[in-house]
């Protein structure tokens, strides 16, 4: 930067006019809420400021030339190289890169559902002396009439409640198992801990909060210890089952030829690091 | 500086004061704008603290009911017109000429005029505390709320002159804002340095361009409405006098036709600040620049067509409500684009968590929260439920405090070294950030709950058995944290001005033109006229092996 | 910032040279458009909303100081304002040529026509106030009418004041060819005031008179 003396720098000269004019205008308006002499003084100020301002701009603006005394440090090129985003296998990939087969989730859900039912029925038998209690209460989610039943009624076998609860258990476990299969590869670090503790904890918390709306019958009769135990049992069985299944690649970073199954020299990228 | 008009006949402090009073230098005017804004910020904050103290527990008698009305009116008016506006105009004033590589604004004297109109207008508004005859026959500030709904503002209900002070003070400072808005647009369109085409401007400048255009078109309708109100009050006109055929709803329409663009006028500068800060502290170029420009322009347009969402609860026709509900939701789209682009800028970057970046991240999180409650409020049935409740108060404080004020602090920590030549203390800055973050969320988070529980805004006290006590107490406790944070900030500024680390020209290793000159910049800004080939001219100079213009 | 080898760099883009004075005045006019737009919208919104007379029909139809129908009198008056826009163009062209005497003549013509218009408005107001008893506080029509027409008259007055100053400068021999650019800006403002009047006239004396039966 050695060319600064070639340029003649001109800056607008300082000017009192704008400030005086603004002050006058404000006083002029303030006159409306105070008294007219204030407005008169304001108008005088505004005119004086305005005239001063105009005389600085017209016919030609008054300018000053500053003495250039300080200079910025010149910008030096940086020695270090620019880091680029390098593309690798996971760049812009849709996670997860590898998934468990969906079938693992479905079977895991079914097995987990059996274990869960076993735990719940055990609890029902130990607490109430009847395995039908848990089944009836569960059916109450879909059958409002269960809510009106007496405790004796809840302890007895009821065919429609059995059908309802069985269907619900089958469908729910199937879908939640599928869900486990899909999200297990997404969970960080210890998927089984997530599946066994954290997901059931969130689910139970949600149920605890929403139960009075979803199933009032269940809320009055539910035994939370066994309920949570059953959920944890399902989570443990299902997540262990899913994690045991071998992972398969989503193939999203494979080339078209690879996905077609071509095996020929040059189709597969060469692995540098292995 | 040799350009300063030194008056040897004045004593040194007076001479310095004289220099500042007569200056037309955009940097000094910018500093004056911001300092005035921060002083008003303290005043407005004090008013808010008084209200929180009064509301901390049911049945308190800290302030009188009529004083409470003045407090919330003056708090709102101050924060919008005397804090948000000057700080945004000041930072645009200071930075735009530096960023586009010119020596001053297009109309330097008009610039000074705009500042002084704002300054005296604000002074006139606050003079009402001493000068105005209020409803109760004593000195009185305006007490009609910051949006001053008719017919409460009519002479029948608002005796004395306090409402007139509100009209006149805001009108005068509004003229100043229009003047500065015209100046900014002209500066940006006419004064760019060689090579800086519109699409090579820093995004800050783009956003300020849209912002200034919004100021130019949104302030005149407010002035017109205020003139009509003034005529109603002083000449006996009937514009908002319902008994003579006038319409109170018309005032609401006119006010919000200004008022909603005004909200975007206030929040756009926050976008401008973080759009400069996040790339520098992520060491990456801003993600999606063209889309950011398009989103800014779109926000500018849509913001002119959403004002009725402030009036959902007054009984307009379902068709009107639905239309404005749709337009209000539409504005979430460009705003969402911006959010995603900021996050995408940070993604994969080498993030440096200095104080400006901390405040920017705080902005992102809190503005997102405020934006989402905004989308909730856009839904007419939900709005009916919580209209005029503390939920609304919580919503717009998340946007304007959690969004705007946090970004302003980010900007202050980022550009203070350029303005003063000294760094602000990082340690004190982090104390301030965390205290403010905790205090802010503690104060305004619970307001959503108290609002949902039915607590109306602007009430002076409430009964014990409403279930609002704990939420109000929490809100009030948050104020203590915020006050402490602001104390840290003030201490940081005072300490750093005296013995902060010298900043050097470019302390953050940034890329826009203001960092190529000295800190503080000389009166003439640049020794030679800058030449620009990309959006990051300093990057090009620092990395000649890999300049940006190869990619843009 | 010139560490790059010159052959490598793309040529600098041209940034154009928009004249800042013109843009500034255009923006001022834009903000005025929104100001008058608000007043006009309010006027239109309130047509026929007044409770109690005198109505627009009362004051415009009744002969005031002569057997004239008011809109006709105002149209006659408006011609002076519209014509003054023509004179100011001629004045500007004269100054561009450097013909200061011709400039002074056309400038005076502009000023005179503008003054006739303003005097006409004053006369009209005098009649409305004295004969019809219509003022701001009389009814909603009065409020709207005086605000809208009054703000237009205020802008005419501001223009005339600046014109008077320029005329004095011309007499003093201080106006030269190089000031033509600034005169052009002034003429833009004057055209704007003119254009606003066309809208105001249509709204107040045609639609307002006809719509508020």
> What's the pLDDT tens digit per position in A176-192?
999 999 999 888 888 89
pLDDT of the residue at B2: 38
Work out the angle between the directed axes of helices B318-330 and B332-346 (0-180°, nearest 10): 20
Distance from CA of C209 to the nearest CA of B (A): 18
B488 within domain boundaries: yes
Question: What CATH number did the domain enclosing B376 receive?
Answer: 1.20.210.10
CA-CA distance, B405 to B482, in Å (whole number)? 12
Q: What is d(CA B549, CA B511) in angstroms, rounded to the nearest whole number?
A: 13
Average pLDDT over residues A241-260: 83
- Please answer yes or no on whether C34 and B541 come within 8 Å at the CB atom: no
Distance of residue C85 Cα from the nearest chain B Cα, in angstroms: 25
Band of pLDDT at residue B429, cut at 50, 70 and 90: very high
Nearest Cβ partner of A75 from C1, C174, C182?
A: C1
pLDDT at B138 over 70: no
Confidence of residue B7 (pLDDT cuts 50, 70, 90): low
Do residue A59 and residue C179 have CB atoms under 8 angstroms apart? yes
Give the span between the Cα atoms of B371 and B328, in whole angstroms: 11
Determine the distance in angstroms separating the CA of B190 from the nearest CA of chain C, rounded to an integer: 5
Nearest to C174 among A59, A75, A76 (CB): A59
Question: Mean pLDDT lowest for which of A88-97, B248-257, B315-324, B459-468?
Answer: A88-97
Task: Convert the pLDDT of each residue in B301-334 to its tens digit.
Answer: 999 999 999 999 999 999 999 999 999 999 999 9
Q: Would you say residue A46 has pLDDT above 50?
A: yes
Domain at C76-213, CATH class: mainly alpha
Question: Does residue A79 sit at the C interface (CB-CB below 8 Å)?
Answer: no
CA–CA gap between residue C144 and residue C200 (Å, rounded): 11
- Please, which pLDDT band fits residue A211 given cuts at 50, 70 and 90? confident
Q: So where are chain C's domains?
A: 76-213
Long-range contacts of A93-98 (CB under 8 A, 24+ apart): A93/A252, A93/A253, A94/A250, A94/A252, A95/A186, A96/A185, A96/A186, A96/A250, A97/A249, A97/A250, A97/A252, A97/A253, A98/A185, A98/A247, A98/A248, A98/A249, A98/A250
- Asked whether B26 and B112 are in contact (CB, 8 A), the reply is no
Mutation for testing the B interface, residue in C2, C5, C6, C24 having most B CBs under 10 Å: C24
Residue of higher predicted confidence among C53 and B488: B488
The strand pair at A63-64 and A98-99 is best described as unpaired
Write down the pLDDT at residue A150: 79
Cβ(A21)–Cβ(A50) below 8 Å? yes
Query: What is the mean predicted confidence (pLDDT) over A66-90?
Result: 78
**Where is pLDDT greater, at B519 or B178?**
B178
Contact in structure between B51 and B68 (CB atoms under 8 Å): yes
Give me the pLDDT at residue B399, please: 96
Closest partner residue to B186 among C20, C42, C50, by Cβ? C20
pLDDT band at B495 (very low <50, low <70, confident <90, very high): very high
Q: How far A49 CA sits from the closest chain C CA (Å)? A: 16
Residues B246-262 have pLDDT tens digits of 999 999 999 999 999 99
pLDDT value of position A87: 66
> Residue B1's pLDDT band (boundaries 50, 70, 90)?
very low
Structural domain boundaries in chain A: 9-64, 99-249
Range in A250-259, B456-465, B486-495, C144-153 with the lowest mean pLDDT: A250-259
Distance from CA of residue B155 to its chain's centroid?
A: 31
CA distance B7 to A199: 75
* Residues of chain C positioned with their CB less than 8 A from the CB of B243: 51
- Taking 90 as the threshold, does the pLDDT of residue A171 lie above it? yes
- Which pLDDT score, from 0 to 100, does residue B4 have? 46
> Is the pLDDT confidence value at B411 over 90?
yes
pLDDT at B535: 93
Q: What is the model's pLDDT at position C96?
A: 93
Read off the pLDDT of each residue in A91-101 and give the average, rounded to a whole number.
Answer: 81
pLDDT, tens digit, 9 for 90 and up, residues B356-368: 999 999 999 999 9
Q: Do C42 and B250 touch (CB under 8 A)?
A: yes
Q: Is residue B369 scored above 50 in pLDDT?
A: yes
Question: pLDDT value at position B305?
Answer: 92
What is the rounded CA–CA span in Å between residue A177 and residue A87?
35
pLDDT of residue B168: 95
Model pLDDT, residue B551: 82
Cβ-defined contact of C20 to B106 (cutoff 8 Å)? yes
Name chain B's partners: 3 or more CB pairs within 8 A: A, C
- Do residue C142 and residue B549 have CB atoms under 8 angstroms apart? no
Contact B221 C34 (CB under 8 A): yes
Helix (H, G, I), strand (E, B) or coil at A254: coil
Q: Which of A58-62, A89-93, B4-8, B420-424 has the highest mean pLDDT?
A: B420-424
Q: Do the beta carbons of residue A111 and residue A170 sit within 8 Å?
A: no
Whether C179 and chain A come into contact, CB under 8 Å, resolves to yes
Q: Do C3 and A59 touch (CB under 8 A)?
A: no
Q: Predicted confidence band at A1 (pLDDT cuts at 50, 70, 90)?
A: very low
Three-state SS letters, B349-394: CCCCCCHHHHHHHHHHHHHHHHHHHHHHHHCHHHHHHHCCEHHHHH
Residue C36 near residue C196, CB atoms below 8 Å: yes
Averaged pLDDT score across all residues of chain B: 92
In a domain, B6, yes or no: no
pLDDT band at A265 (very low <50, low <70, confident <90, very high): low
Distance CA(C79)–CA(B491), nearest Å, equals 67
pLDDT digits (tens, 9 = 90+) for B157-170: 888 888 999 999 99
Least confident range from A161-170, A252-261, B178-187, B384-393: namely: A252-261
Q: Directed axis angle between helix C20-45 and helix B162-190, to 10°?
A: 140
Report how far residue A212's alpha carbon sits from residue A220's, in angstroms, rounded to the nearest whole number. 9
Task: Say which of A17, A71, A75 has its CB closest to residue B527.
Answer: A71
What per-residue confidence (pLDDT) applies to B417?
96
Q: Mean pLDDT across the stretch A231-259?
A: 87
Residue A268 reports pLDDT greater than 70: no
**Domain residue limits at B447:** 23-550
More confident residue, B414 or A6: B414
Number of domains in chain B: 1
Write out chain B residues lying below 8 Å of C144, CB-based. 239
**Percent of chain B scoring above 90 in pLDDT:** 84
Alpha-carbon distance of C162 to C189, in angstroms, equals: 11
**Average pLDDT score over residue span B386-408:** 96
Tell me: pLDDT of A217 over 70.
no
pLDDT at B227 over 70: yes
pLDDT, block means (10 residues), chain C with 213 residues: 55 78 95 96 91 81 58 85 95 93 95 95 90 88 94 97 93 89 94 96 86 59
Cα distance between residue B367 and residue B354, in whole Å = 20
To the nearest whole Å, the CA of C18 is away from the closest chain A CA by 19
A102 vs B452: CA distance, rounded Å: 43
């Amino acid at each position: 930067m050695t060319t600064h003396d070639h340029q003649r720098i001109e800056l607008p000269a300082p000017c009192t006019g704008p400030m005086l004019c603004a002050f006058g205008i404000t006083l002029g308006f303030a006159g409306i809420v105070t008294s007219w002499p204030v407005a008169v003084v304001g108008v005088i100020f505004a005119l004086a400021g305005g005239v001063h301002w105009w005389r600085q701009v017209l016919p030609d603006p008054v300018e000053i030339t500053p003495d250039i005394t300080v200079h910025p440090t010149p910008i030096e090129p940086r020695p270090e190289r620019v880091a680029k985003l390098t593309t690798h296998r996971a760049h812009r990939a849709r996670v997860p890169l590898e998934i468990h087969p969906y079938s693992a989730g479905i079977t895991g859900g079914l097995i987990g559902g059996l274990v869960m039912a076993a735990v719940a029925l055990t609890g029902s038998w130990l607490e109430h002396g009847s395995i039908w209690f848990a089944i009836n209460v569960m059916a109450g989610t879909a059958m409002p009439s269960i809510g009106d039943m007496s405790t004796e009624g809840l302890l007895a076998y009821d065919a429609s409640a059995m059908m309802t609860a069985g269907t619900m258990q089958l469908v729910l476990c199937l879908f939640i198992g599928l869900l486990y299969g899909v999200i297990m590869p997404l969970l960080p670090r210890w998927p089984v801990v997530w599946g066994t503790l954290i997901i059931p904890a969130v689910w139970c918390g949600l149920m605890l909060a929403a139960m009075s709306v979803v199933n009032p019958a269940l809320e009055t009769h539910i035994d939370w210890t066994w309920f949570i135990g059953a959920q944890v049992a399902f989570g443990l069985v299902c997540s262990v089952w899913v994690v045991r299944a071998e992972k398969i690649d989503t193939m999203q970073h494979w080339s078209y030829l690879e996905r077609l199954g071509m095996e020929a020299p040059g189709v597969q990228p060469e692995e540098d690091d292995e | 500086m040799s350009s300063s008009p030194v008056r040897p006949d004045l004593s040194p402090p007076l001479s310095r004061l004289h220099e500042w009073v007569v200056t037309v230098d955009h940097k000094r005017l910018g500093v004056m704008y911001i300092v005035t804004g921060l002083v008003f910020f303290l005043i407005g904050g004090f008013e808010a603290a008084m209200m929180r103290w009064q509301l901390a527990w049911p049945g308190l008698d800290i302030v009188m009911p009529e004083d409470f009305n003045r407090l919330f009116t003056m708090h709102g008016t101050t924060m919008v017109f005397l804090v948000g506006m000057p700080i945004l105009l000041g930072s645009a004033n200071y930075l735009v000429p530096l960023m586009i590589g010119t020596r001053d604004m297009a109309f330097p004297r008009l610039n000074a005029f705009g500042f002084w109109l704002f300054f005296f207008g604000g002074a006139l508004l606050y003079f009402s505390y001493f000068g105005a005859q209020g409803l109760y026959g004593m000195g009185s500030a305006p007490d009609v709320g910051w949006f001053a709904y008719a017919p409460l503002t009519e002479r029948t209900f608002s005796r004395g002159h306090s409402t007139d002070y509100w009209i006149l003070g805001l009108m005068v400072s509004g003229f100043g804002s229009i003047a500065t808005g015209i100046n900014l647009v002209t500066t940006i369109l006419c004064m760019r340095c060689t090579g800086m085409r519109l699409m090579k401007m820093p995004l800050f400048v783009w956003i300020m361009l849209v912002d200034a255009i919004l100021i130019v078109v949104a302030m005149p309708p407010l002035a017109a409405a205020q003139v009509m109100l003034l005529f109603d009050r002083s000449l006996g006109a009937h514009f908002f006098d319902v008994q003579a055929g006038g319409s109170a709803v018309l005032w609401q329409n006119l006010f919000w036709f200004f008022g909603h663009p005004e909200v975007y006028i206030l929040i756009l500068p926050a976008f401008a600040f973080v759009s400069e800060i996040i790339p520098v502290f992520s060491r990456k170029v801003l993600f999606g620049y063209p889309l950011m420009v398009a989103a800014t322009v779109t926000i500018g347009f849509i913001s002119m067509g959403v004002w009725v969402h402030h009036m959902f609860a007054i009984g307009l026709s379902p068709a009107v409500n639905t239309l404005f509900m749709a337009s209000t939701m539409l504005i979430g789209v460009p705003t969402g684009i911006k959010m995603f682009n900021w996050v995408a800028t940070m993604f994969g970057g080498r993030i440096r968590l200095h104080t400006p970046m901390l405040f920017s991240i705080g902005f992102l999180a809190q503005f997102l929260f405020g934006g989402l409650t905004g989308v909730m409020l856009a839904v007419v049935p939900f709005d009916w439920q919580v209209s005029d409740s503390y939920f609304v108060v919580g919503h717009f404080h998340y946007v304007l405090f959690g969004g705007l004020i946090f970004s302003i602090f980010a900007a202050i920590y980022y550009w203070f070294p350029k303005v003063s030549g000294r760094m602000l203390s990082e340690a004190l800055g982090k104390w301030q950030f965390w205290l403010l973050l905790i205090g802010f969320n503690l104060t305004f988070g619970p307001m959503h709950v108290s609002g949902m529980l039915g607590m109306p805004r602007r009430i002076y006290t409430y009964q014990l058995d409403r279930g609002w006590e704990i939420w109000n107490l929490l809100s009030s406790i948050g104020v203590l944290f915020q006050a402490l944070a602001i104390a840290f900030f003030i201490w940081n500024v005072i300490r750093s001005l005296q013995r902060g680390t010298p900043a050097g020209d470019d302390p953050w290793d940034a890329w826009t033109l203001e960092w190529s000159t000295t800190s503080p910049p000389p009166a003439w800004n640049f020794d030679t006229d800058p030449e620009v080939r990309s959006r990051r001219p300093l990057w090009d100079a620092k990395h000649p092996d890999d300049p940006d213009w190869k990619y843009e | 910032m010139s560490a790059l080898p010159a052959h490598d760099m793309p040529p600098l883009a041209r940034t154009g040279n928009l004249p800042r004075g013109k843009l500034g005045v255009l923006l001022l006019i834009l903000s005025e458009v929104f100001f008058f737009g608000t007043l006009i919208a309010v006027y239109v919104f309130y047509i026929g909303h007044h409770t109690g007379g005198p109505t627009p029909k009362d004051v415009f139809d009744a002969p005031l100081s002569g057997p004239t129908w008011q809109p006709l009198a105002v149209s006659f008056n408006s011609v002076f304002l519209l014509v003054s826009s023509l004179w100011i163009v001629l004045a500007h062209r004269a100054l561009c040529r450097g013909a200061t005497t011709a400039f002074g003549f056309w400038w005076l013509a502009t000023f005179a026509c503008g003054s006739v218009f303003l005097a006409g408005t004053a006369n009209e107001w005098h009649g409305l106030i004295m004969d019809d008893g219509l003022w701001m506080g009389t009814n909603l029509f009065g409020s709207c009418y005086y605000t809208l027409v009054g703000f237009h008259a205020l802008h005419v007055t501001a223009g005339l004041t600046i014109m008077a100053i320029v005329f004095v400068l011309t007499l003093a021999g201080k106006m030269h060819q190089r000031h033509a650019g600034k005169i052009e800006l002034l003429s833009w403002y004057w055209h704007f005031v003119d254009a606003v009047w066309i809208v105001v006239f249509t709204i107040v004396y045609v639609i307002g008179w006809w719509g508020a039966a």
